[in-house]
Every structure is written in structure tokens, then in C-alpha cells.
Copies of this chain bind each other. A is one copy, B any other.
Amino acid sequence: MHTYHHGDLRAALLDAAAGILQEKGIEGFSLRECARRAGTSHAAPAHHFGDAQGLLSEFAASGFERMVAMMRGARTQAGPDAWEQLRATGRAYIDFALENRAAFQLMFRADRLDQGRPRLAQASAAAFDELRTALAALHGGRAPAPQLMLAWSAVHGFATLLLEHAADGMRQGQDMQAFSREMGDALLAQLKHSLAG
């Protein structure tokens, strides 16, 4: 039964956006297509999000929130060892990127997002805090900035290069998931020498 009011058009629009981004990437995103997929008129999205940047910012915010949840979950399940916790956090960061390619790429496209939106600013800060917390545990206090920056850069760079197929030469045709597992673990183990000291 179609009601005049959709009920949860907001959520439907965000779902539609996810679909478009997954299929076409961010270049192919438009409000009209989004409305079309959500089965509503093309002018409806403005009611909920203002413009495309608003909608994408909300979507990115929810991405950061899910990423935080994944990292936190992985860390708390990793046992008491501080290094294992950091490793689990890094893995979760990379896994999130691979499992949510479109969202991850959008989350770091500053030109498409409005960082002024409180929910987005808060969610991205929370994600960063997860990394900082995990690294701080290694030191029994605050981690030095260079170590934090290195750890973040390493996991972020690895995920980015994988997603943009820049590392296909190293992957040598191996399954992407498997390569990420193996090389990611090796990379984190390698990184340990830098962070433990």
C-alpha cells in the first residue's frame, strides 16, 4: 500500500545513494538518480538534505560511524595484549575500506563533503580517536605524533592503493581479499618494529 508519505524516505534515499556509489562511483552520483531509485520525485531529497553535498555528508558520517564500530569491536575482542589490539584496529580499518569501497572513498573526499556538519565532524573525529586510543595503549599513555601519523598513513595508504588498483602489480592476480589479509598482516607486523620501540 503506497502511502503519500513515504514513512522513512530519508533512510531510503541514503540506501539509494549507497547503491549508486557502489555501482557508478561518486562521479555518477546525482540527486535525481537517487530520488529515482528511492521511488520518489526528484525534488523530495531537498526536503531532507538540502543538496547533494548534504546527502553525501550524512552518508559519509554513517560510514565513519560504522567504521568506528568495526574498529572498536575488533579491538575489544583482541584480548589484553596492547599490540594485538592495535593490530586488530588496523585490520578493521583496512577491512572496512575493502568492504565499503564507495563509502570509504567518499569519506576522504573533502571536496564533496561539508565538514561543518556536526554529525560528520564528530564521526570522523571518533574514527581518529579509535586509532589514537589503540596506539596509546602501546605506550601506556599518549602516543607520540610521528608514530600515530605513521600508523595511520600506513593503513590508510595501503587501503587506498588497493582500492585504486595501484598495487595490482604487487598483487599479481591474487584474490584481493586474500592479498589484503596476507599483505596487510605482513605490513602491520613490519610496522610493529617502528611502533614498539
Q: A interface, how many residues as a size bin?
A: 35 or more
Choose from B157, B165, B186 the contact partner of A158 (Cβ within 8 Å). Answer: B157
Which residue of the partner chain B has the closest CB to A25? B111
- CA separation between A112 and B164, bound complex, in Å? 11
Encoded as 1 (CB less than 8 Å from any B CB) or 0, chain A from 53 to 83 comes to: 0000000000000000000000000000000
A2 at the interface (CB under 8 A from B): no
- CA separation between A164 and B194, bound complex, in Å? 25
A148 at the interface (CB under 8 A from B): yes
For A109, list chain B residues within 8 Å (CB). 164
Encoded as 1 (CB less than 8 Å from any B CB) or 0, chain A from 168 to 197 comes to: 011000000000000100110111111001
- CA separation between A165 and B124, bound complex, in Å? 12
Specify how many copies of this chain sit in the oligomer.
2
Q: Please judge, given known A-B contacts A110-B165, A158-B157, A160-B157, whether A146 and B189 are in contact too, CB under 8 Å.
A: yes
A42 to chain B, nearest CB (A): 21
Interface class of chain A by DSSP: helix
A149 at the interface (CB under 8 A from B): yes
- CA separation between A96 and B115, bound complex, in Å? 26
A1 at the interface (CB under 8 A from B): no
Q: Verify A108–B193 contact, CB threshold 8 A.
A: no
- Residue among A111, A149, A165, A169 having the largest count of chain B Cβ atoms under 10 Å: A149
Besides A146-B183, A153-B187, 7 new A-B residue pairs in contact (Cβ under 8 A), listed by A number: A110-B164, A149-B170, A150-B154, A154-B154, A156-B160, A192-B194, A193-B193
Q: List 28 A-B contacts (CB under 8 A).
A: A27-B112, A108-B166, A110-B164, A115-B165, A125-B169, A128-B169, A145-B170, A145-B183, A145-B186, A146-B190, A147-B190, A149-B158, A149-B170, A152-B157, A152-B161, A152-B167, A153-B154, A153-B155, A153-B156, A154-B157, A156-B157, A156-B160, A157-B158, A160-B160, A190-B194, A193-B193, A193-B197, A194-B194
